[in-house]
Every structure is written in C-alpha cells, then in structure tokens.
C-alpha cells in the first residue's frame, strides 16, 4: 500500500513539475517549482514538496519562468524561450539632488535586463530647472558623469567605486553587468539650493538574460571619488556607534577620523590610540593597540559579528566576498563612564 501511495505521489509531482518554473544551478542541479521572488539578495524558490529554498546569486545559473506560458493549457508564442522577458515592476522612488546616492531596495543580478523611466523636475541652483534628461549641451565637469547632460538621472549597481555608471535620462534599458543594489543620483555636483525630485520607475526581467554583459556604449563612466559620504560622531562614553552604513561584498571605504578624547584625568587619546596605555586584557575590544583608538566591526545580517579591526586616524578597509552587514565604530577602552569628548569620522564609499 505504501508503495502504491508513493508511486501516485511521484506521478503527481511529475505532473506539477511539468508546469513549474525551472531553476538551473551552477553545480548542475535543475530544480522545478515556483519562483517566489528575490529578497534581501537571495532567490526564494518553492520546490514541489512545499519547501522553500533560499539561494545566493552566485549559486544560480539561469531562471526560467514557465507558469505564464501554460495558462489555460493553450500554446503561447515563445513558450519555453528562457529569453522571453518576464518583467517585475518595483515601487516608484523619488530621487533628489543630495550628497549621498539614493539606495533603492532593488537587488539586481548580473545578466538581468532592467528598464528605468523617470519624470519630474529638479531646480539645480535655485534658478535652473531640468527634467531627468538633463540640460542638453550643458556639462558639469565635477558631476558623476561629466560627459553627459548636466542634471540628468544617473544609476549605478553596487558600491564598488570602479563600477560603471549608467546615464538614464527619461528612460533607458540596460543589462546589469554585476550583482548588487541599484542606486540613483542626479548628474550635478553642487547640492545647495537644490529643490524637487525625479519620480523613478524600475522594472527588471526575472529571467536572466543570455545577452553578453558589457558596458553600455556611450552611457557609462567611472564612479567619481565623491561616491557617497557620511560624517559620524563617535562618543567616547559609548562602546559602539551604529554608522547607519550597510556594507556589501567588495566595498572599499575611505575612513578619516580626527579629534581628541579624555580617557581619565591622566590620559588622552587621538583616533590612533594612546601608545602609553596598551590594551592588554580581553575587556578591551582590540588587544595590542592603544587605549582610546578608533576601531570598527561589522554586524552581519544573521547576527554574527566580524573581528574588531583598527581604524585609527585613516584607513581604507575593503569588505570580503559574502560580507553583508552594518558598520559599527567604537572606542578601544574597557571603562567608558569617565571618558570625555568624541571623534569626528568622515566615511566615503
């Protein structure tokens, strides 16, 4: 009896699988089921026994959405063609002219086709107005893309300072050349007296494209050194300070710190630490370095934390492959209540 039930269940599974989405993994596995979505940098895929799998982009070779092609059991043109677009529309966002890039919640994969359209008006300097297409024939040499229209809409994928930028204008369609979060900014350097915003709509093809991935001719440039910048105050009376900066793999930071703090009535310290008072017990965040030094750690998404590292007055750390988390800055001290002062830390990425 059990064998009969097992055979019936297997036949039902095969029948359902014939109408399911197909996920091809780089290890050679082929999964049938339903593609639920792409959330927090992971594929959510429900296999036919009801279990949901969470897969990293690095594990996935190709995703084919098939359930739309078999509706009502009627043949559909191009059914089974993995390159047939299956567009997912994301909520619209408002992009202002600000110092920092606008970080969307859209995680893209290398080879994914993306459509962006935009409307709205921004006043650049209190007088000059422009739409997302920018000012035709006018250039800003300090803008993110100095060879494109001043004031136009610009995008980039991920936080790698060497990532190519994409001029969007009112609309553009491109193929993602890397995995990462989609960012937007306005192609203008000076942010003072800026008003208004661009309303931006994004759609992404849930099927990975077979189109060769490369720079979009005429519309790419290098991310400027400005990138994003944030200044954080790190008080000496607090062990750890949340910078509010979310880190991604292969992300390079430029951290510059200044200021002086009092560790007690006897000792003072700069961000490099007081070398006359070396941390030598486990109660200090980082042993072997001077008391009062500026240190850092990453709190990962799963709650784990990285090793504590020295930042000092200047450091350019780079995250490793697979590192997603929040950056925290701290004071290398084991007794904080009698401390005074703070460090001012500028972080660029």
CATH number for position 21:
2.30.30.100
The DSSP secondary-structure symbol of 19 reads T
* Alpha carbon 128 to its chain's center: 32
Task: Show which of 49, 73, 97 is a domain's final residue.
Answer: 73
Residue 107 CB coordination number (10 Å) = 20
CA distance 18 to 13: 9
What is the domain range of residue 156? 87-222
The predicted pLDDT at position 166 comes to 95
Q: Which of 222, 237, 269 is the last residue of a domain?
A: 222
Q: Is 218 left (phi over 0), alpha (psi -120 to 50) or beta?
A: left
pLDDT per residue over 124-169, tens digit each?
988 899 999 999 989 999 899 999 999 999 999 987 777 889 999 9
Overall pTM surpassing 0.75 (yes/no): no
pLDDT tens column, 174-223: 998 888 889 999 999 888 889 999 999 999 987 764 444 443 333 433 33
Cβ–Cβ under 8 Å, residues 87 and 205: yes
Q: Is residue 67 located within the same domain as residue 20?
A: yes
Torsion of CA 140, 103, 86, 218, to 10 degrees: 20
Nearest Cα residue to 230 out of 93, 98, 106: 98
The domain spanning residue 256 has which CATH number?
A: 2.60.120.430
The residues with which 305 forms a beta bridge, in sequence order, are: 299
Q: State how many domains the chain has.
A: 3
Query: Does residue 332 share a domain with residue 235?
Result: yes
195 with 274, same domain? no
Q: Which range has the worst mean pLDDT, 55-64, 83-92, 168-177, 303-312? A: 55-64
Do residues 161 and 250 make contact, with C-beta atoms less than 8 angstroms apart?
A: no
- Give the tens place of pLDDT for each residue, 212-264: 444 333 343 333 334 578 999 999 999 999 999 988 888 889 899 999 999 97
Do residues 91 and 214 both lie within one domain? yes
């Amino acid at each position: 009896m059990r064998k009969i039930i097992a055979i019936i269940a297997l036949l039902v599974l095969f029948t359902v699988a014939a109408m399911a989405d197909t996920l091809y993994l780089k290890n050679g596995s082929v999964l049938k089921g339903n593609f639920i979505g792409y959330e927090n940098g992971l594929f959510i895929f429900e296999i036919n026994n009801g279990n949901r799998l969470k897969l990293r982009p690095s594990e996935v070779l190709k995703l084919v959405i098939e359930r739309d092609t078999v509706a009502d059991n009627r043949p559909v043109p191009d059914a089974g063609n993995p390159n047939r677009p299956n567009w997912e529309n994301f909520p619209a966002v408002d992009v202002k002219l600000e110092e920092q890039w606008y970080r969307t919640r859209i995680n893209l994969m290398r080879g994914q086709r993306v459509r962006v359209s935009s409307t709205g008006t921004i006043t650049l300097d209190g007088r000059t107005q422009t739409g997302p297409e920018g000012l035709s024939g006018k250039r800003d040499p300090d803008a993110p893309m100095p060879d494109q229209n001043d004031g136009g809409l610009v995008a980039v994928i991920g936080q790698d300072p060497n990532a190519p930028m994409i001029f969007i204008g009112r609309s553009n369609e491109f193929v993602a050349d890397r995995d990462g979060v989609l960012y937007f900014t306005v192609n203008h350097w000076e942010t003072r007296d800026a008003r208004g915003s661009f309303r931006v709509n994004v759609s992404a093809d849930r099927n990975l494209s077979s189109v060769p991935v490369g720079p979009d001719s005429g519309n790419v440039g290098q991310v400027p050194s400005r990138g994003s910048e944030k200044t954080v105050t790190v008080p000496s009376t607090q062990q750890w300070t949340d910078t509010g900066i979310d880190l991604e793999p292969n992300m390079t930071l430029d951290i510059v710190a200044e200021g002086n703090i009092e560790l007690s009535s006897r000792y003072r310290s700069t961000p490099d630490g007081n070398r006359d008072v070396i941390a030598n017990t486990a109660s200090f965040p980082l042993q072997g370095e001077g008391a009062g030094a500026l240190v850092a750690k990453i709190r990962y998404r799963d709650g784990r934390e990285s090793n504590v590292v020295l930042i000092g007055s200047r450091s350019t750390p780079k995250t490793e492959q697979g590192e997603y988390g929040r950056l925290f800055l701290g004071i290398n001290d084991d007794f904080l209540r009698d401390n005074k002062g703070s460090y001012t830390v500028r972080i660029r990425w």
